[in-house]
Chain A
Amino acid sequence: MASDETSGKDLTAADSSSVEHDTAAAGTAVVARDAVANPGFPPHRPRITDLDPRAEKRAERTVYTLFYLSIVGSIFAIAAYMIFPIVPEDPGSVRLNNLFIGVGLALALLALGIGAVHWGKALMHDEEGVDERHPVRGSDETRARAVEIFQEANTESGFGRRTLIRNSLIGALVVFPLPAVVLFRGLAPQDQDPVALLKQTMWEKGTRLALDPSGAPIKASDVTLGSSFAVIPEGLMDLEHGRLEEKAKSVVILVRMKPQDLIQSPERAGWSYDGIVAYSKICTHVGCPVGLYEQQTHHLLCPCHQSQFDVADHAKVIFGPAKRALPQLPIAVDAEGYLIAQSDFLEPVGPSFWERQ
């Protein structure tokens, strides 16, 4: 009986909508007729809990047991918070604290959710029906009344008539967000040109190459064949402020290979020293530190997106998403045998940005 009822209801719903379509004025819309008839709801099948009172009792028991379990979980979480406090400088206590509070909260929420779903599925009425949504369009009287209210408000406030007040109000609203624009602009560097900041690093003519993190200068003779050094400019560690910002731009990887393995273009002939080359460590893709140097293949791998650079050949890109070779730092040796920079990088380091040539 129930199934007949619902399918009948559904049919009338479908009929009424099609009737509405048919009454639309000719030419206003193309009515797409459904090629497949709505089959209606499948016949209702009673559940075990509908037929067997003992099953119903059992389901009821399950549901309230779950809700009680949820209470237990919540109380357990409170107890765990007190029993396993976080002891400073003891990471193990954090683990216990998180673990037991988490177990308690998970139990509380899961039991609550599972109980509610089980209640809905096993015990609540499960006969399907259709509730018609009321039409979105208001009745003609409501619409006329709304227009009337707007007009009345306009005449009473004089919004349309007193144009000076109206225009000054609009002006005030337009100007109001401006302080926010100025305030947020103040968060960016003020007295420095961001393009210049991105273009230059701490390296300049004569800056010694130093070890990261000790800051000890490096002699050319220290760099043996196959070595890879993590290099910073000397004096970086003495900076009072902005040390990380400078380091993020100026870190260099220094390697030595056999001079015959090194391919050098004529214009960079003087940039290396006896097989020692220095390249920016900042990937030209999105700026990850490129440090995975393979001393036999001379390949440098970026761990973030697998760009590969051939250090033996101007750090050109041989694989991956990076578009430009790593910038090379021209190096030389000073009178005491220490490695020094000939100049800053001749191109900006790191990923491309808006005003990079």
Chain B
Amino acid sequence: MPRTQKPTNGRARRTGRRSPLASVALIAIGLLFTGGAYAMISTSTATAQTETASQQTVSEGEKLFAANCATCHGLSADGTGSGPSLIGVGAASVDFQVGTGRMPMQANGPQAIVKPVQFTEEQTQALVAYVASLAPGPAVPEAEYLDAAGDAASGAELFRINCAMCHNVAGAGGALTEGKYAPALDGVSPQHIYEAMVTGPQNMPVFNDMNISPEDKRDIITYLKYVENNPSPGGFALGSLGPVSEGLFLWIFGLGAIVALTVWITAKSN
């Protein structure tokens, strides 16, 4: 036992001094710091910035588009029989669809399903820049609405009125018609939640800023993150799916226990 412990101790001490990841972390912190400072200075001009994305990024995105998206959406992104036109869908739509791995679609079906993300962050941004350059559309949301630090109670009310019928009151998702479904919302990044509301991906309706203002969207995100980070005080939530999972649980374990007890009571003792 002591012999096996010794090397682990040694390793722990070594990692305590300098990890091979330390330099990576240092660079990441430095980048975050400078990036954050830059974002703070330039938030007011963020939309202008996306509009003036460098021509190089746009042409990069055009190449990626031609190689990966044009089969369905057409070489000039104006749509074909198997894919809708992307003119005017805006940066937010592309960032959502590509950033969550829904696009490029694996196969035509009732609904584009979430897959592992197919592009790197730069490639996604290039695609975003290219599609956004075609025609004006909803931009990628600004960071001030994504901090999940709004009013969770107001967000909950808005969520119940506008979202809960499809996405379930706890954001656990639910079934729609003919194989379509509203996905679960836990683990979805605030940016993607915001973009989905603005753009209405697939069969989700659009919730524009006149319907739900950016501050209200921030509250909704706050509510969803609150639900995600605070476990249900009632104990096991069983997926928060309501009567489906709860009924099934009772049916199997509750009735099962009653049947087992009945068999035991009426069986003859040996």
Q: Which residues of A contact B233 (CB under 8 A)?
A: 91-92, 94-95
Asked if A224 and B208 sit within 8 Å, CB to CB, the answer is: yes
Q: Count A/B pairs, Cβ under 8 Å.
A: 81
Chain A's interface size range is 35 or more
**Chain A 177-220 interface mask (CB, 8 Å, partner B; 1/0):** 00000000000000000000000000000000001110000110
Q: Is B22 an interface residue (CB 8 A)?
A: no
Q: Is B177 a contact of A294 with CB atoms below 8 Å?
A: yes
Verify A229–B165 contact, CB threshold 8 A: no
Of A62-70, A146-154, A285-293, A346-354, the stretch lying at the interface with chain B is A285-293
B238 to chain A, nearest CB (A): 15
For B230, give the chain A residue with the smallest CB separation.
A91
Interface centre among A213, A222, A230 (most CB of B within 10 A): A230
User: Across the interface, which residues of B come within 8 angstroms of A224, CB to CB?
Assistant: 206, 208, 210
A295 touches B157 (CB 8 A): no
CB atoms of B205 and A218 under 8 A apart: no
| A255 and B264 contacting across the interface, CB-CB below 8 Å | no
**Cβ contact within 8 Å between A230 and B177:** no
Interface 1/0 per residue, A71-90 and B, CB below 8 Å:
00000000000000000000
A81 to B161, CA, bound (A): 39
Partner of A229, one of B203, B211, B264: B211
Q: Kindly state the separation between the CA atoms of A293 and B204 in the bound complex, as whole angstroms.
A: 7
Q: Shortest CB–CB separation between residue A167 and chain B, in angstroms?
A: 55
Give chain B's interface secondary structure class: loop
Contact with B along A230-272 (1 / 0, CB 8 A): 1000000000000000000000000100000000000000000
Closest to B265 in A: A117
Which residues of chain A are within 8 angstroms of B177 by Cβ–Cβ distance? Answer: 294, 297, 299, 301, 308, 319
Taking a contact as CB atoms under 8 Å apart, the answer to whether A228 and B205 are in contact is yes
Which residues B162-198 have CB closer than 8 A to chain A?
162, 165-166, 174, 176-177, 180, 182
Please tell me if the beta carbons of A292 and B166 are within 8 angstroms of each other in the complex: yes
**Bound-state Cα–Cα, A212 to B203, Å:** 22
Interface: B234 (CB within 8 A): yes
Chain A residues with a Cβ under 8 A of chain B: 47-49, 91-92, 94-95, 99, 117, 121-122, 126, 211-213, 218-219, 222-230, 255, 289, 291-297, 299, 301, 303, 308, 319
Q: Can you list 18 A-B contacts with CB-CB less than 8 angstroms, sorted by A residue number?
A: A49-B269, A91-B233, A91-B234, A94-B233, A95-B235, A121-B268, A121-B269, A213-B161, A227-B200, A229-B211, A230-B161, A255-B205, A292-B182, A293-B205, A295-B200, A295-B205, A296-B202, A308-B177
Chain B interface residues toward A at CB < 8 A: 157-158, 161-162, 165-166, 174, 176-177, 180, 182, 200, 202-208, 210-211, 233-235, 264-265, 268-270
The 10 A-B residue pairs whose C-beta atoms are closest, nearest first, are A91-B233, A228-B205, A222-B210, A291-B165, A294-B203, A121-B269, A226-B206, A295-B205, A227-B206, A230-B161
